[in-house]
Amino acid sequence: MNETKSPVETRTPFGQTYYPPVPTEFTKKMRTNLFWQLLRFVVINVKILRMVRKH
Amino acid sequence: MARLVILGAGIAGQTAALHARRRLGRDHEVVVVSPNSRWNWIPSNIWVGVGVMTPEQVTFPLRPVYEKTGITFVQGRAVSVHPEGDGDAGRPYVKVELTEPGKTGQEERVPYDWLINATGPKLNFDATPGLGPSKNTVSVCTFDHAAHASKAFDETVARMKAGEKQTLLVGTGHGNCTCQGAAFEYIFNVEFELRRRGVRDKARVVWLSNEHELGDFGMGGMFIRRGGYVTHSRVFTESLYTERGIEWITRAGVKEVAPGEVSYETLDGDERSLKFDFGMLLPPFSGVGLKAFDRSGADVTASVFAPSGFMLVDGDYAKKPYEEWSPEDWPRTYQSPKYPNVFAVGIAFAPPHAISKPMTSPKGTPIFPTPPRTGMPTGVMAREVAFNIVDMINGKATAPTRHASLAHMGAACIASAGAGLFRGTAVSMTLFPIVPDFRKYPDTGRDLGWTFGEIGLAGHWIKHLLHFGFIYKAKANPLWAMVPE
């Protein structure tokens, strides 16, 4: 499970980590891509403010 | 002249006090009673717990704020409520044990016309033998607990740097804990810090919780639209744990914590144990233990407070099976049915029941989360209660007119997964309503148009902004009221 184990060991069939979707490298990069995240910053803030204004 | 007394100076108490003070004329008095001299932005305690922030960065002294705003401050712990006064005085009052230096232990009567109970929780470490910062685990529930956790974390990292392998355990320390979100934030910040400090390969990081599935968070989880599917939060949460190499144990009620070893019962009834080197397990919450007495001095606590110690308000507390739970069970005005000039907000009010489905092991041990009450709904209910009281004081209403039911309110939540201006991430989510309504939304319990979640650096920026924004607001700095709850 931890990083000292080989990928074969960590992907044991029927183990906890076997079934969940795992992000691709592209997905992970976009999580900290400055341009994309600046856009998401605006989008998420709009969503939050809409929720705030709802009550 | 009316006197509004607010017990507690956390997110709920401070929000109610500032809004009431702003709207009430100076001929009325607002009094805050709190045993603490400092205000704490609790959502940032998880950063104190990994050494990213200091206690000073998440707190500030209350007294200067109250002097500036004209709020009377009584530094003390409320012991009992006397809603009918007593033989000497017909005016309701709260008995307070002072905690102010120089007056510690002295008792004082604080009379009130209106009362808001915003005392928050008692951190009930005693519910699990061996649990808590004075025993065998650390906590991030308060800023001093978090500072202690940070020190223990540093020592664990030092052992890893010396070549030792360590098991770090984070989660809930009892079968009926809440606030899984805080533990979730902490374990991901711990994991992030381990990588940042170059010792991740020496660590086994384990999540242990009373949730039925990962991603429950005490709200029964949530569904969101993503990639052409309607997907449960369990899938995304398991994905994140897998990506970060964190093992998870769910459906576990911790029974005892010995030094370096936790014993727990699973929902299947199995008794298991796990050895650890660093453990942050949250305690269950209960009310702070306030008593209530009528005019004759008879103890009426049982008619004002639930057995959990939380205050009974306008919810439906009739015992009923899960299948009969209704959104209408949840309180709307937070007014005490017995004493209409008494209200309870934030964690202090008694929820009618859980949000997650209740589960019990074959041995009869309840193992499921109790309802969370995060910052945004806490602030909204405190504001609405303050406005209702102001309206009644000013003669604009004779009963509460504003409602803030968790079953008709949404929430926005940011959960940190690691702090860093360019490398940090956080999960941003909104959901509506907080309490699922399966009659209105039969498949998901919530409105998918208002429910979403994603992880990224933008979430970290927002969490950081909220840190500064809410501390600015709680200090009652100029235009503070523009900052939403």
Is B64 among the domain residues?
yes
CB B136 within 8 A of CB B257: yes
Measured between CA atoms, the residue of chain B closest to residue A36 is B458
| Secondary element (H or E) of residue B18 | helix B11-23
Region of residue B20 (left: phi > 0; alpha: psi -120 to 50; beta: else): alpha
- CA proximity to B39, closest of B21, B19, B22, B15: B15
Domain count, chain B: 1
* Domain residue limits, chain A: 22-55
Express each pLDDT in B24-63 by its tens digit: 989 999 999 999 999 999 999 999 999 999 999 999 999 9
Nearest CA in chain A to B242: A17
Tell whether B306 is covered by a domain: yes
Inform me whether the pLDDT recorded for B179 exceeds 90.
no
Domain CATH code at residue B60: 3.50.50.100
Find the domain containing B37 and state its range: 3-123+285-393
Work out the number of other CB atoms within 10 angstroms of the CB of residue B449. Answer: 8
- Tokens representing residue B60 in the block: 């500030």
Q: Please report how many Cα atoms fall inside a 13 Å half-sphere around the Cα of residue B322, on the Cβ side.
A: 10
Give the nearest partner residue to B201 out of A3, A16, A40, using CB atoms: A3
Mean pLDDT score, B102-113: 95
DSSP sequence for B253-274:
EEEEEETTEEEEEETTS-EEEE
Tokens of B391: 């309206």
Measured in degrees and rounded to the nearest 5, phi and psi for residue B107 equal -100, 145
How many angstroms separate the CA atoms of B333 and B315, rounded? 9
Q: Does the pLDDT of residue B368 top 80, yes or no?
A: yes
* Main-chain phi, psi angles of B208, to 5 degrees: -130, 120
Q: Which residue of B has its CA nearest to A10?
A: B245
Model confidence over A11-30: pLDDT tens digits?
A: 677 788 788 999 999 999 99
* Chain A residues within an 8 Å CB radius of B412: 47-48, 51-52
Task: State whether A32 and B248 contact (CB < 8 Å).
Answer: no
Q: By CA distance, what is A47's nearest residue in B?
A: B430
Decide if B445 is inside a domain: no
Q: Taking CB atoms and an 8 Å cutoff, what residues of chain B touch A41? A: 458, 461-462
B454 touches chain A (CB under 8 A): yes
Q: Which token pair is A7? A: 């990928």
| Residue B427 within any structural domain of the chain | no
Question: Is B195 domain-assigned?
Answer: no
Query: Residue B265: is its pLDDT beyond 90?
Result: yes
DSSP H helical ranges for B407-474: 457-474
pLDDT at A12: 74
Distance CA B103, CA B105 (A): 6
User: What was the ipTM of the complex prediction?
Assistant: 0.90
Beta partners for B223?
B232
CB contact under 8 A, B412 and A22: no
Average pLDDT, chain B: 96
In a domain, B462, yes or no: no
Q: Is residue B349 part of a domain?
A: yes
List, for residues B52-81, the tens digit of each pLDDT value.
999 999 999 999 999 999 999 999 999 999
What's residue B86's pLDDT? Answer: 87
